[in-house]
Amino acid sequence: MATSLEKIIGPRTPEENLAEDRFRFRLPIIFFLIAALLLIASIFLPYWKMTLQAPQYPKGLSITAYINKLTGDVGEIDGLNHYIGMRPLAEAAQLERSLSIAAVSVLSLLLVAAIFIHSKYAVLLALPAILYPFIFLGDMYFWLRNFGLNLDPTAPLSNAIKPFVPPILGVGKLAQFVTIAQVQSGYYLALMASISILIGLYFQRRAYKPLIDSPAGSEDQPIAITDLD
């Protein structure tokens, strides 16, 4: 009889089947590991970029968001933003940026942990990583909104520029500036990680569900894993 712990971690990989059907049980591991590696790699890559175009800036201005920093023409954009009373960009998402690398590392570790959980509960461990790209954009939107809507009413142009929310993706327009916001390579890696996790969960479920439904050692229901293919 399965203990509650066994219920949570699910059945172990049956040694007797491993040799003949190694791939079936390895497949989820591969996808989870790929996802974890993609997440770790994304730490070093840009997630989001906004380009501002205006006649006075023939080369354009841009800010690039990594999970832990902002790069690009931050000073110049801050300089422009002060006219409309927007706070310096460095003040945005300070907590998120300070925790981000640790957080993504934890997400990756949870994925590694999910490799060993062969029950439905694996989804719980993987869920934060699956949702992570959407949480990122959600948080980004929160800050864009927070900054755009909380303009200093004493700023030089505050009577003319009313609070606004710059589009988080796609093209926007503010005065003489056209803004183009796009997600970047790091974000795509995170998205691919989500997909990889979903595939991994599917294969894990496919590998272990028969074991859950017909626990090994049950005499009346011998395993016939190969039949499932």
Partner 1 sequence: MNLRTMKKYLLPFVLMAVVGFLLVTACSGIGGDTETPESAAAPGDINAIAAERGLTPADIEAAVKTYTPTGQHDEYIMFASGGHSGQMLVIGMPSMRLLKLIGVFTPEPWQGWGYGAESSMEVLEQGKINGEEVLWGDTHHPALSETGGEYDGEWVFINDKANARIAVIDLRDFETKQIVKNPIAINDHGGTMVTPDTEWIIEGGQYAAPLGWEYASLADYEEEYRGMVTFWKFDRESGRIQTDQSFAIELPPYWQDLCDAGKLVSEGWVFCNSFNTEMATGGVEDGEPPFEAGASQRDMDYMHIFNLDKAIEVFKAGQTEMVADFPVISLQTAIDEELLYFAPEPKSPHGVDVSPGGDYMVVSGKLDPHVTIYSFEKIQSAIAAGGFETDDYGIPILDFDDVVESQVEVGLGPLHTQFGPDGYAYTSLFLEPAVARWTMGGPYADLNDDEPWSLVTKTFIHYNVGHLAAAEGDTVSPDGKYLVSLNKWAIDRFQNVGPLVPQNLQLLDISQPGTTMPLIDDMPLGIGEPHYAQIIKADKLDPWEVYPEIGWNPATQSLDPNATLAGEERIERDGNNVEIWMTAVRSHFNPEHVEINQGDHVIWHLTNVERAYDATHGFSLPGYNINISIEPGETATFEFDATQDGVFTYYCSEFCSALHLEMVGYMLVQP
Residue 86: what are its φ and ψ, rounded to 5°?
Answer: -85, 140
- Count of residues that bind partner 1 according to CB under 8 A: 19
Shortest Å distance, C-beta 100 to partner 1:
26
150 touches partner 1 (CB under 8 A): no
Shortest Å distance, C-beta 164 to partner 1:
5
176 touches partner 1 (CB under 8 A): yes
Residue 173: what are its φ and ψ, rounded to 5°?
Answer: -140, 130
Contact of 227 with 30, CB cutoff 8 Å: no
Binding residue for partner 1, selected from 101, 103, 123, 174, defined by CB under 8 A: 174
Short-list 143, 148, 146, 150, CA closest to 165 = 148
What's the rounded Cα separation, in Å, for the pair 213 and 202? Answer: 16
79 touches partner 1 (CB under 8 A): yes
SS3 177: strand
178 touches partner 1 (CB under 8 A): no
160 touches partner 1 (CB under 8 A): yes
Binding residue for partner 1, selected from 69, 90, 138, 156, defined by CB under 8 A: 156
What's the rounded Cα separation, in Å, for the pair 216 and 198? Answer: 26
Binding residue for partner 1, selected from 164, 184, 192, 216, defined by CB under 8 A: 164
